[in-house]
């Protein structure tokens, strides 16, 4: 049952169609794993914490550097050199003291990815490399855990949702025959912080929908945004 302060904190959500008190209690009991506490992960974590998700696991082996701060809004200049999971936990619990943050300051390996995917209700993939995305996708498919993923670069982004057994996965979209080693990186072509924030927010929306069992998730659909042209496109796959 929600406490009075929870009803006040989440008052604007409680009146939403598809949420209500029962939905808010579902969010409170939910466990979401966020892989990556960078640009995407920052927005995802903030919005899921603000929405009242009860437990957030955060996986990131890196420390905060100055070049992160144009987009990784979980961290500040005072956090330089700190583990990202540490500064993330501090910032998120300051926003929502009722939140439980479980930090995983480690690089994912297959065995660990499988273990974590099985322990959470939804996984949100926020890394910046294909190796991690393929690893997390495989772990979620094997565990039967829904996955929300996104990729951003320069002024553009794309995202989709995987529900194992109910639609295609990340590997279906990018099979081994596709060459991905020539795709440029943010270090080479840059990225606008607000682009990462936009897709992190969209990932949070999809995660909440999955947790509540409402709406139409982005399963079998790739959402593509061009920030310079201000266009959204949807591609079925």
- % of residues, the chain, pLDDT over 70: 100
In this prediction, residue 199 carries a pLDDT of 98
Element (H, E) at 7: helix 4-9
Q: What is the pLDDT of residues 164-211, one digit of tens each?
A: 999 999 999 999 888 887 788 888 999 999 999 999 999 999 999 999
Buried/exposed 220-229: b ≥16 CB within 10 Å, e otherwise: bbebebeeee
234: which strand partners?
223
Q: What is the pLDDT of residues 27-69, one digit of tens each?
A: 999 999 999 999 999 999 999 999 999 999 999 999 999 999 9
- What pTM was estimated for this model as a whole? 0.97
């Amino acid at each position: 049952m929600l406490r009075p302060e929870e009803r006040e904190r989440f008052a604007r959500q409680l009146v939403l169609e598809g949420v209500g008190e029962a939905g808010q209690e579902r969010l409170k009991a939910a466990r979401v794993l966020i892989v990556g506490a960078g640009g995407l992960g920052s927005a995802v974590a903030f919005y899921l914490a603000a929405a009242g998700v009860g437990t957030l696991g955060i996986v990131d082996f890196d420390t905060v550097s100055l070049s992160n701060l144009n987009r990784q809004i979980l961290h500040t200049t005072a956090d330089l050199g700190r583990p990202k999971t540490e500064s993330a936990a501090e910032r998120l619990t300051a926003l929502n003291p009722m939140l439980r943050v479980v930090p995983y300051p480690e690089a994912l390996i297959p065995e660990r990815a499988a273990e974590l995917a099985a322990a959470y209700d939804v996984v949100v993939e926020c890394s910046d490399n294909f190796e991690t995305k393929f690893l997390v996708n495989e772990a979620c498919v094997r565990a039967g855990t829904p996955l929300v993923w996104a990729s951003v670069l320069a002024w553009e982004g794309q995202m989709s949702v995987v529900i194992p057994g109910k639609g295609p996965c990340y590997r279906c979209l990018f099979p081994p025959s596709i060459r991905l080693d020539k795709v440029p990186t943010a270090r080479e072509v840059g990225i606008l912080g607000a682009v990462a924030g936009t897709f992190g927010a969209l990932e949070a929306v999809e995660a909440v929908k999955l947790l509540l069992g409402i709406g139409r998730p982005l399963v079998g659909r790739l959402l593509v945004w061009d920030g310079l042209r201000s266009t959204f496109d949807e591609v079925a796959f």
